[in-house]
Structure 1
Amino acid sequence: MKALTQTDFNFKGQTSIYHGKVRDVYNINNETLVMVATDRISAFDVVLPEGIPYKGQVLNQIAAKFLDATKDICPNWKQATPDPMVTVGMMCEGFPLEMIVRGYLCGSAWRAYKDGMREICGVRLPEGMRENERFPEPIVTPTTKAELGLHDENISKAQILEQGLATPEEYEILEKYAIELFRRGTEIAAQRGLILVDTKYEFGKRNGEIVLMDEIHTPDSSRYFYSEGYQERFEAGEPQRQLSKEFVREWLMDNGFQGKAGQTVPEMTPEIVAGISERYIELYEHITGETFVREEGQNIAERIERNVNNYLLK
Structure 2
Amino acid sequence: MNLANKVLAVNDDLPIRTDAPVHSGKVRSVYWLDAADSRRLIAQRGYPVAADAPLAIMVISDRISAFDCIWHGEGGMGGVPGKGAALNAISNHWFRLFREQGLADSHILEIPHPLVWIVQKARPVMIEAIARQYITGSMWRAYASGARDFCGIRLPDGLQRDQQLPQLLITPSTKGVLEGIPGVPAQDDVNITREDILANYSAFRFREVADVDRYETLFREGFELISRTLAGLDQIFVDTKFEFGYVTDRDGREQLIYMDEVGTPDSSRIWDGPAYREGRVVENSKEGFRQLLLSHVPDPDVLLNKDRMAERQALAAGDPLPASVLMAVSDTYLGMAEKITGERLRIADDPRTEIIDILGGEFGLIR
Q: Distance in 1 between matches of 2:124 and 2:113?
A: 24
Q: Distance in 2 between matches of 1:162 and 1:176?
A: 18
Match of 1:29 in 2: 34
Match of 2:45 in 1: none
Match of 2:197 in 1: 160
Q: Distance in 2 between matches of 1:302 and 1:89?
A: 21
Structure 1 residue identity aligned to 2:331: E
Question: Which one has a larger percent helix, Structure 1 or Structure 2?
Answer: 2
1:190 match: secondary structure: helix
Any residues of structure 2 matched to 1:196-235 within 5 Å, and which? 196-207=237-248, 208-233=254-279
Match of 2:50 in 1: none
56-65 vs 272-281, which deviates more?
272-281
Residues 1:85 and 2:95 are matched in the alignment: no
Could you give the per-residue CA deviations for residues 1-50 of structure 1, whole angstroms, max 9, x where no partner exists?
13111121232455332100111111113611211110111123333344
Question: Which one has a larger percent strand, Structure 1 or Structure 2?
Answer: 1
**Residues 14 and 356 in structure 2, CA contact (< 8 A), matched pair in contact too:** yes
User: Structure 2 residue aligned with 1:48, among 71, 76, 81?
Assistant: 71
Structure 1 residue 155, shift from structure 2 partner = 2.6
Structure 1 residue 174, shift from structure 2 partner = 1.5
**Residues 123 and 247 in structure 2, CA contact (< 8 A), matched pair in contact too:** yes
Match of 1:303 in 2: 354
% identical equivalent positions: 30
User: Structure 2 residue aligned with 1:135, among 144, 165, 168?
Assistant: 165
Residues 1:193 and 2:234 are matched in the alignment: yes
Structure 1 residue 136, shift from structure 2 partner = 2.3
Residues 1:113 and 2:166 are matched in the alignment: no
Query: How has the CA–CA distance of structure 1 residues 42 and 144 changed in structure 2, closer, same or farther, with 3 Å as cutoff?
Result: farther
Match of 1:5 in 2: 9
Structure 1 residue 259, shift from structure 2 partner = 6.7
Q: Give the paired residue count.
A: 305
Structure 2 residue identity aligned to 1:284: A
4-13 vs 177-186, which deviates more?
4-13
5+ residue gaps in structure 1? 234-238
**Residues 35 and 86 in structure 1, CA contact (< 8 A), matched pair in contact too:** yes
TM-score, length of structure 1 as denominator length? 0.89
Residues 1:252 and 2:256 are matched in the alignment: no
**Residues 103 and 198 in structure 1, CA contact (< 8 A), matched pair in contact too:** yes
**Residues 99 and 175 in structure 1, CA contact (< 8 A), matched pair in contact too:** no
TM-score, length of structure 2 as denominator length? 0.77
Structure 1 residue 185, shift from structure 2 partner = 0.3
Q: Distance in 2 between matches of 1:15 and 1:259?
A: 37
**Residues 16 and 28 in structure 1, CA contact (< 8 A), matched pair in contact too:** no
**Residues 131 and 223 in structure 2, CA contact (< 8 A), matched pair in contact too:** yes
Structure 1 residue 129, shift from structure 2 partner = 0.8
**Residues 196 and 223 in structure 1, CA contact (< 8 A), matched pair in contact too:** yes
**Residues 107 and 246 in structure 1, CA contact (< 8 A), matched pair in contact too:** no
Match of 1:288 in 2: 341
**Residues 89 and 341 in structure 2, CA contact (< 8 A), matched pair in contact too:** no
Q: Distance in 2 between matches of 1:183 and 1:217?
A: 11
Could you give the per-residue CA deviations for residues 93-113 of structure 1, whole angstroms, max 9, x where no partner exists?
112221211111112211211
User: Structure 2 residue aligned with 1:16, among 13, 21, 25?
Assistant: 21
